[in-house]
Chain A
Amino acid sequence: MTEKIQGLLPQDLPHRPRRIGGIVLQIALIVVIAGLAYGAILDLAQNLARAHVASGFGFWNNTAGFDISQTLISYSPSTSSFGRAFWVGLLNTLLVAAIGIVLATVLGFVVGIARLSRNWLIARLAGGYVELIRNVPLLLQLLFWYNAVLKSLPQLRGSVALPGGGILNNRGLFLPRPEFGPYFAAALIALFVAIAVAIVLRDWARRRRERTGRQIRIVLPVLILVCGLPLAVLALAGFPLGFSVPHMGRFNVSGGVEILPEFAALVLALTVYTAAFIAEVVRAGVLAVPAGQTEAAQALGLRSAATLRLVVVPQAMRVIMPPLTSQYLNLIKNSSLAVTIGYPDLVQVFAGSVLNITGQAVEVIAITMAVYLAISLFTSLLMNLYARATAIVER
């Protein structure tokens, strides 16, 4: 009996001998890749020696010697090192990405919801926006904003004075800079205290509702608390807040906060472009919530605002979050296009200027890639944690 069906047992089916073939294949793969890497390193050493390029990361502490047009931390071309330039570039990248992400999210949600509107006209307008923006390369849009829009603004003499003391010309946008007096930190601390108290209050109200079934309206007290406490502290300190207003000079604008046209163009292009993709993500997410969920919520007697807040949005967010995160990552990676218009981001400063001066292509590009990779992996990690926290608990 056993003898008879022996030939049909799984270990005799064709995939059994593949185990050995698989091991051979894997060893061969390792050998080939190691060989390629070894050959590449030999060639690299030869080529570098011939070109008299140094290797290693010794350049990190050498004086940079080039200027950067926007620095969030103190930097001077004559004393700061290449390492300092790296941090300046990285911070500029993070700044443009953070502002771009906030604006693109707002615009993207507005457009995505407008596409779902029952109003025919606004749905069509939003749809046209999405189709137009998604089908034109970002680089072209960036060049358009920079060269066709911002560079055609009036020159210094014909600067536009904005309401509130701002100045706009083709060298940038100059805005009043808030200057904080003493005790301003106290107001900030008061704000945080007020928010903390508000959270405690909300939890207390929720627990109370769950125990007794009675709703307690805490919106008004919380509003008074969060707005009132910092304002009261400010009033006690005599409103220690002033503004440094930009002034028109003969050749320059002095004072205030300067927003470079490169920065503005990059933020505009990234925002407008990414918002079109976010709009599609939002639309898909909202459409993914079955209509029965809304009907069930209404049948339970929830009002439309509560239906949205408690039933539709939580379910839509679960669908929206993963593609939304990948759009954020795309935005961060796309901010490297800054190099074409000369905004001093990580790629322009580090993989551009530093690479050209030191000539150490391998080290510089490896560091640049490592930074983007670290950002991506860190974000994926957060994303996975979020997905695990909000996963549907099935029976």
Chain B
Amino acid sequence: MSAIGDQSLLYVRRSPADRLPPPAARAGALGWLRTNLFSSPANIVLTLGCVLFIVWAVPPLLRFFLIDAVWSGTDPDACLASPAQPHPGACWAFVRVWYSYFVYGFYPIGQRWRVDLFFLALAFGVVWLLRLSAPRRDIGALYFFVVLPVLSFVLLHGAPWIGLRVVPTALWGGILVTVVVATIGMVASLPLGILLALARRSEMPVVKLFAVIFIEFVRGVPLITVLFMASVMLPLFVPEHLAPDKLVRALIGVALFASAYMAEVVRGGLIAVPRGQYEAARALGLSYRRMTGLVILPQALRVTLPNIVNTFIGLFKDTTLVFIVGIFDFLRTIEAARADPKWAAPTTTVTGYVFAALFYFVCCYGMSRYARNVEARLTRSDRR
């Protein structure tokens, strides 16, 4: 009995033991690998297959686009195979030489500062409108939807009374045209889409009928046929002297097409507004216009903002189709440059397409990240 009190036989712990590290197979890099890559035989096979695919695909791509690529040079000879470079990679020299053509098209060289200014003004408006923390976004909207269109027209088209030479749209090209078509499509389709969506939910049968016919008709046909209609048929339907410019015709086609899709997106938002909101607004004695403007639309547009941005992404990609009705958008300038016999190197086609893909990817991916951020913000603020 006395042995319990004996210090040499004491085995009861008086302080907590040091915490043991988790088993090696569950934690750290090894554990992560086990749970995420090698959890079962089927998973091991899948992982090995993926690794093999990456090993097979990535190094040749890196070699072609970075290591063996030709970065400088002013003529296609730089991109041809020679004893010094038996396997020339991507011809980035081609992009560098043609770069200003890709951005401005045939816009007169002395006037290109106007295009740069337009890009700046547009970027300013976009940032003002899209940064949710920016001050006075109502003025931003006014700037974007009223000031900017007028300013852009004066800058790009020209205004002789303030000394800006008129540059006909036939000379516009490249990224300039892509941005113009996309921006006008977006700026026009949002209000038109909202009007169409409201019309489709209207209680007036005639208004509703016209809206349904327009929306379902446009959504049922490909954009190409709408563009064909705008560029071939539209001039036939107006007096000869009023026939609009080629670019304007395509713009009308794109704007009408986008507004039908926008209408459906906005309608989804309108449906999502609870019925009680309509009834409450009515009970307060608000007129239809006030109810829509003050109660319904703010809520509807808020929940549908990610979808609106997704429609914009689709529209941005669809601007490439104006190519088919003969307008020099960015993709068309790439096609023209790569088909230029003076630049006939075997790698220019791939290089041109990859450059174009990079441009579109950066723009569209940026927009979709923005939509996702807004969505995350909305779900956070809804979770009270």
- A-to-B contact residues, CB < 8 Å: 13-15, 18, 22, 25-26, 29-30, 33, 40, 43-44, 46-48, 50, 117-122, 125, 131-132, 134-140, 143-144, 147-148, 152, 333-334, 336-337, 339-340, 347, 351, 355, 361-362, 365, 368-369, 372-373, 376-377
Contacts and interface: CB of A to CB of B under 8 A. Distances in A.
Given A122-B46, A138-B317, A337-B224, A362 B361 contact: no
Given A137-B360, A336-B224, A119 B206 contact: no
A62 B53 CA distance: 55
B207 interface: yes
Contact of B225 (A122, A139, A340, A347): A347
B360 A336 contact: no
Interface string B329-373: 001000100100000001001100100110011001100100000
A148 B222 contact: no
Nearest to A15: B288
Contacts of A334: 222
B313 to A, nearest CB: 7
A351 B225 contact: yes
B357 A43 contact: no
Nearest to A362: B233
Contact of B229 (A22, A139, A144, A365): A365
Interface in B197-241: 203-207, 210, 216-217, 219-225, 228-229, 232-233, 235-240
B324 interface: yes
B61 to A, nearest CB: 13
B381 interface: no
B71 interface: no
Contacts of B350: 148
Given A22-B204, A43-B238, A135 B285 contact: no
Nearest to A370: B221
Contacts of A336: 222, 224-225
A26 B37 CA distance: 64
Contacts of B346: 152
A387 B206 CA distance: 28
Nearest to B346: A152
Contact of B220 (A25, A30, A362, A377): A377
Nearest to A18: B288
A340 B323 contact: yes
B373 to A, nearest CB: 15
Nearest to A326: B219
Contact of A44 (B203, B223, B236): B236
B174 to A, nearest CB: 15
Nearest to B208: A26
A121 B50 contact: yes
A140 B363 CA distance: 15
A44 B279 CA distance: 48
B320 interface: yes
A365 B220 contact: no
A134 B317 CA distance: 10
B309 to A, nearest CB: 13
Interface string B293-311: 0000000000000000000
Contacts of A355: 232
Which 6 pairs, one residue from A and one from B, show the smallest C-beta to C-beta distance? A376-B220, A135-B364, A120-B36, A333-B222, A26-B206, A40-B237
Given A29-B210, A118-B36, A140-B320, A47 B240 contact: yes
Contacts of A43: 236-239
Contacts of B223: 333
Contacts of A47: 235-236, 240
A334 B282 CA distance: 44
A13 B268 CA distance: 29
B225 A125 contact: no
A373 B236 contact: no
A340 B221 contact: no
Contacts of A121: 36-37, 46-47, 50-51
A372 B224 CA distance: 11
A122 B50 contact: yes
Nearest to A40: B237
A132 B225 contact: no
B43 interface: yes
Contact of A135 (B36, B54, B240, B365): B365
A49 to B, nearest CB: 11
A26 B222 contact: no
A57 B326 CA distance: 28
A381 B37 CA distance: 45
Contacts of B288: 15, 18
A14 B285 CA distance: 7
Nearest to B237: A40
Contact of A376 (B210, B219, B321): B219
B287 interface: yes
B50 A140 contact: no
A369 B237 contact: no
A135 B313 contact: yes
Nearest to A347: B224
Contacts of B203: 22
A136 B357 CA distance: 6
A211 B222 CA distance: 53
Contacts of A44: 236-237
A340 B43 contact: no
20 contacts: A18-B288, A22-B203, A26-B205, A26-B206, A33-B210, A44-B237, A48-B236, A121-B51, A135-B361, A135-B368, A139-B321, A147-B338, A340-B323, A361-B233, A362-B233, A365-B233, A368-B228, A372-B222, A372-B225, A376-B219
